[in-house]
Each structure stands twice: as C-alpha cells, then as structure tokens.
Structure 1
C-alpha cells in the first residue's frame, strides 16, 4: 500500500511535470502561431496548444499547492483543475490532428504539440488518481484520529465516573454499572 508520503511526493513530481508541460506547450503554441501567420492564413485550432498549456500550467500549480496543503477544498480544486487539463489536452489533440490533415508544412510542430498534449493528458489522469488516493488516505487518518480521541475520552469518563459519584460512599462496579452501597 502506498504511504501518505509516497503519494505526496508522487503528486509533487507530477505537478512539476505538468508545469513544465504547460510552459512547453504555451511556448510551442506561440511558435506555431508566429510561423502560421508568416506562412499561411491562420486556422481554427492554431492557438489550441497555448490554451491546453494554460490548463496544464494551472493544473500543475494547483497540484503543488495540494501537495503542500492537504485540505479537502484544495483537493477538490485540484481535481477540478485535472479535469479541465484533461479536457484541454483532448481538445488540443483533436484540433491539432485536424490541422495535420489540412497542411503538412508545420508537421513536426504539430506532432510535437500532439505529443505534449498526450503527456499532459496522462499527467492529469495520474494526478487525479493520486488526489483520490490522497483524499482516501486523509479520510482514513482522520477517522483513526477521531476513533482514538473518542476511545481516549471514553476511558477518561469511565475512570472519573466512580470518583465523582462516590462522595465518600463506597461503590461496587459490576458489569460496567455502578451501585452505591
């Protein structure tokens, strides 16, 4: 079973990878847009690597925050960002794939953009899964802490109960019930 520390370290590594993929995709998209404007008429989908890069970047930043602060709201925010990154990556892949069919002048640029999109999609998928594992781990930890706290307070109540009721009168404890003699 994965420990909490391993999950957090994996999540942090994936988040840094997502940040790198986001920056790379934005840069690749900017280069693609400038080359398209110089060579041919811009088409729908030329800027999709930039937008998916923004999604990957935001997903990575939220992942770093989630690895540092493991609160429920941050985990939900990060899961939502992972889903947005998945959608952005899938749309980017589809738009760029359609562009590859229309023109072959920027083929290597389009293949690089699709590769980054695939890596980003995989990273978002793994990050979402790790977030679910981390949330489950945190829930289990909180349950154990609560059970320990309740058990401890129950023990303290049992120990204090006979002393508080006695008022100097001897008591007999049978089957958990206190009887005053």
Structure 2
C-alpha cells in the first residue's frame, strides 16, 4: 500500500517536470511566431494542467485522504482530456493546408512541435498511470488503511449502562481500575 504512495510521488514529480518542459517549449514557440497560432500556444496552457495534476498528486501522497485522492483522479482525467486536445492542436502545426479531407504537410518540419508532441504523449501515459494508481489509493483509503489507530479520545463501553470517554488509550490495568471506579460510583449513587 505504501508502494503506491511512493509511486504517486514519482508520477507527480514527472508531471511537474513535463509541465515545466511544456511551458518552456510553449514560450519559445510563441516567441518565434508572429501571430498566435493554436499549435504554438497550446503547450503553455496544457503545461499548466500538467503542473496542477502534479501538485495535487503530491498533496494526495502527503495527506492520504479520500477526497484528495478522488480530486487527484479527477484532475488526472481532466489533464488526459486536455492533453488529447493538445495533441490535436500540435498536429495542426505539422500541416500546411487542409482541403477536402487532404492534408498537405509542411516542407520544413518544426522541431519544437515534434518535441511538444513527444512530451504530450509521455504525459498521456503518465495520466493513465496516475489514474490507475489513484484508483488503487482510493480503495486503500476506503478500507481505512491510512488511518491512524490512535485518536484524541475513544469511547469505552464497560457495561450496558456504563460508557466512559477516555482521552488516551488505556492499558489493561487502567481499564480494570476504571471499571471498578465506575461500579463504585454506581453503588454510591443508588
């Protein structure tokens, strides 16, 4: 179960690294263009989603709460959808003209578009992996494997009428003395 926590840290770190690479490629690509094109700006906004997915993954691995894990799975799904749209927009950067179902490729291929496509494909794989790890973590969280055994207080039921709220877990000697004190309290009150 803690293997998946470590795997979540690793996947989230890769999300953040890919986000930084994508944002840097988007900035370089956009600075070379005279006009904002969809294929040149798409690595910027998709990189923001990659970074968001990585940040929520790190928070998920630290807190191990069910709602944070479900947010991680949800943002991974959204990032996967955004990444698929990003791939389609980057493909537009490879074609020159599209008429009647025919696509004519550019004579000079842009290396930045190919690099951004490779980063997006790796990010798709990371999103699929983070969804599967997040689902596994949610099963572990619902089975309460990450919960601490010791809380601020607990309720001890001594008999049908006697309930004691104890602030710290007691040993067997303390519970016997607590049981005797409750019984003595009941005898004195009657």
Q: TM-score, normalised by structure 1?
A: 0.73
**Unpaired runs of at least 5, structure 1:** 147-152, 165-181
- Let me know the Cα RMSD of the aligned residues: 2.8
**2:8 aligned to 8, 11, 14, which one?**
11
**2:61 aligned to 64, 67, 78, which one?**
67
**Unpaired runs of at least 5, structure 2:** 97-105, 150-155, 163-179, 184-190
Task: Tell me, yes or no, if structure 1 residue 110 matches structure 2 residue 113.
Answer: yes
Match of 1:169 in 2: none
**Deviation (angstroms), 1:105:** 3.9
Q: Which has the higher helix share?
A: 1
Distance 1:105 1:31 in 2: 18
Residues 5-154 of structure 1 aligned to structure 2 (within 5 Å): 5-37=2-34, 41-102=35-96, 103-105=106-108, 107-141=110-144
Distance 1:15 1:90 in 2: 19
Distance 2:107 2:113 in 1: 9
Q: Which has the higher strand share?
A: 2
Distance 2:26 2:60 in 1: 28
Q: Secondary structure at the match of 2:40?
A: coil
Q: TM-score, normalised by structure 2?
A: 0.70
